[in-house]
Amino acid sequence: MTLSNAQPVIKANLGALAGLKVVDLSRILGGPYCGQILGDHGAEVIKVEPPQGDDTRAWGPPYQNGVASYFRGLNRNKIGITLDFSTAAGREMLMGLLEGADVLIENFKTGTMERWGMGYEQLSQRFAALVYCRVSGFGADGPLGGLAGYDAALQAQTGLMSVNGEVGGEPLRVGLPIIDMVTGLNAALGIMLALQERSRSGRGQFVESSLYDSGLSLLHPHAPTWFEGHKLPQLTGNAHPNIYPYDAFKTCSVPLFLAVGNDRQFQLLCKHLNAPVLATDERYATAGGRSVNRVPLRASLEALFASLEGNTLAQNLMAIGVPCAPVLNVQQALEHPHTAHREMVVKIGDSYTGLGSPIKLSRTPATYRRPPPD
């Protein structure tokens, strides 16, 4: 067994999950993201890696001290341990870690933990109160059961790519691992539900969060549209399939994204643009009419926006209640004053900068106590 990164606590652990012990055997993204959520809110998370380490340690550049930023973005507030489960000694050491543990997270290929004698049915005999969370690709059974799952492939298989892309173009992968991250969120939510139930029954249970299920769960509003009308959604680029103007528009500077969802917002937009003719045009008087007649409406709006500065226009429209935003790049978003105000960029010492927790609690906020294990 190898321990790493046993730094002193930098900030007092006053989190909502203080006292909770989590053993995180997961690698890559979904499982580690789940473990980091629990760690941010006070749980003691022990990250157990194989001797060769989590694969994402090598997913760079960039690197810091040989560790990729990809890994560092998912594994703070964890104590690092290396165990080799192919050995009896490694498996027995895990049994020691599970003494007094509340939660185990793993995302091994289905059947691997069972072959090692450490599946849920086996562990629950010894640790009746343990909440055992598995992050998987497709679940254990069914037509695709037991197969490995990867975010981009699941974006393709669950229909997400089919609704993401420019009009007349090809389906596109969403530009971030959205299914992996939602699977991690669902895993954390499932763990909390199981812990809540355990407070009544005293018993743990098996929790599973699969990429396949999580991908399908994101198909709103496209799934209900299909259930009701059996009409396949088409690629619409930035435009919303049901609402307009809900799209990106060019200005004389940065693009502007409008998210006008009702008649009042549309009237406010027209008033600000000094375009009463649009507000009174019967084609645009209702949400349904604006959606059906989006092509001429877009042309009229683009002509009005052409001479306006995007950031100023967005600020003025938001101030009067018209939902919109300038289209920013990653640097601009991270350096925005409101990002700092919301404490969404955090530091641990001088060596770690990361995204803050989006979950805000008034008395027991998230804390950032340990950088990712080296």
Q: Report pLDDT digits (tens) over 24-57.
A: 999 999 999 999 999 999 999 999 999 999 999 9
* CA-based nearest residue to 311, from 303, 319, 300: 319
What's the predicted TM-score (pTM) here?
Answer: 0.92
Q: What whole-number distance in Å separates Cα of residue 223 and Cα of residue 219?
A: 5
Q: Give 290-318 pLDDT, tens digit per residue.
A: 999 999 999 999 999 999 999 999 999 99
> Mind telling me the catalytic residues?
180
**Arithmetic mean of pLDDT over the chain:** 95
**178 and 158 in contact (C-beta within 8 Å)?**
no
Query: Which CA distances in Å does 51 have to 37, 71, 98?
Result: 25, 16, 20
Q: Does residue 6 have a pLDDT over 70?
A: no
**Rounded distance, CA 132 to CA 134, Å?**
7
In this structure, what token pair is assigned to residue 303? 């002509």
Domains, the chain, ordered by start: 2-218+345-355 (3.40.50.10540), 256-326 (3.30.1540.10)
**Which tens digit of pLDDT belongs to each residue from 193-238?**
999 999 999 999 999 999 999 999 999 999 999 999 899 998 999 9
